[in-house]
Amino acid sequence: MYDIIIVGAGPAGLTAALYAARANKKVLVFEAKSPGGQIINAHLVTNYPGVKSMSGSEFAENLYNQVIDLGVEIKFETVLSIDEDKNVITNKDTYKAKSIILATGADNRKLNIENEDKLVGKGISYCATCDGNFYKNKVVAVVGGGNVALEDVLYLSDIVSKVYLIHRRDSFKGSELTLKEIEKKDNVEILYNSTVTKINGVDKVESIVINNNEQDQTIKIDCLFVAIGQEPKNIVFKNVIDIDEKGFINTKDGVHTNIEGIYVAGDARNKLLKQLTTAVSDGSIAATVAIKEMEK
């Protein structure tokens, strides 16, 4: 029997483990792949308070070692399901806990074209607020049609020299008010009915090819920001946990799920800002709440 089982070893999950271990709780963390979550793909992190610059992999490694040094048990197993009695079933065994924290995160949707994975951190980014400052006074493109894409363009337009907004349809799903603000910007060019078909570059992004009405156009850019949504990893919990239509865990207060003793932290839930700072904040809050309610 564990006091707390945490599903996911990204920043939110490992921070929850850190706080739980420091409270002398018996903690088990499950991770299906490698610890660190999406942050390990960040070439540089420059917006974490108190740290001028660090690589995402460096942050993940430091946090992992810090948790291990506290005696937290980490198993690299895939969680297949959980139930209301706090049983966690993996591909190898069944485990019992007093409380569960779901910190499964979410994967950025990709364009799935050649060179995309190769050039992540070298001109391919999935987070404008994380990486925008690296491209000050340069030319960038944003692909997407929802609120995140529009907000990214508005944010980047105050930093870079030019932004191409690329959308596969002739209208946007995002806020009309935000779109009107974008249309006022002299350094933004909107490309409707366009699809990115190729990314050119060896060591960094040099240009992209877009298809517009069956015609190819090459655009020289320094960075392509991909903002086409995220894919949460909560489908295995849907028979127990209340999940919205996009697969994110519903929560009224950012911590509690619909099941007593089961909590959520990080990008597994739908929230306004998905950053390293908010992930560690979520993890610390979820662990603190779980401990407090466990000890009642």
Does residue 269 have a pLDDT over 80?
A: yes
> How does residue 175 score in pLDDT terms, banded at 50, 70 and 90?
confident
Tens digits of residue pLDDT in 50-60 = 998 898 889 99
Q: What percent of the chain has pLDDT over 70?
A: 99
Q: Which of 3, 127, 152, 267 is catalytic?
A: 127
How far apart (Å, rounded) are the C-alpha atoms in residues 111 and 231? 13
Does residue 271 have a pLDDT over 90?
A: no
How far apart (Å, rounded) are the C-alpha atoms in residues 180 and 177? 5
What does the pLDDT read at residue 43? 66
Q: Which of 130, 223, 267, 282 is catalytic?
A: 130
What does the pLDDT read at residue 76? 97
> How does residue 108 score in pLDDT terms, banded at 50, 70 and 90?
confident
212 to 110, 170, 216: CA distances (angstroms):
20, 11, 6
Which of the 8 DSSP states describes residue 64? H
Q: Which of 3, 131, 267, 282 is catalytic?
A: 131
Question: 192-197 long-range contacts, Cβ below 8 Å, gap at least 24?
Answer: 192/167, 193/167, 193/168, 193/169, 194/166, 194/167, 194/168, 195/166, 195/168, 196/111, 196/113, 196/141, 196/143, 196/166, 196/224, 197/113
Tens digits of residue pLDDT in 211-221 = 987 789 999 99
Q: What percent of the chain has pLDDT over 90?
A: 81
Does residue 276 have a pLDDT over 80?
A: yes
Q: 210: how many CB neighbours lie within 10 A of its CB?
A: 21
Does residue 248 have a pLDDT over 80?
A: yes
> How does residue 296 score in pLDDT terms, banded at 50, 70 and 90?
confident
For the question of whether the overall pTM of this predicted structure is more than 0.85, the answer is: no
Fold of 2-108+230-294: FAD/NAD(P)-binding domain (3.50.50)
What does the pLDDT read at residue 40? 81
Does residue 183 have a pLDDT over 80?
A: yes
How far apart (Å, rounded) are the C-alpha atoms in residues 257 and 242? 7
Report the sign of the C-alpha dihedral through residues 274, 255, 104, 66, in that order.
positive
Domain 124-226 has CATH 3.40.190.170: no
In the block, which residue shows the tokens 């040099």?
206
What does the pLDDT read at residue 157? 97
96 to 7, 88, 92: CA distances (angstroms):
13, 6, 14
CATH 3.50.50.60 range(s) for the chain read 2-108+230-294, 124-226
Indicate the helix (H) or strand (E) that contains 100: strand 94-102
For residue 223, indicate whether it is catalytic: no
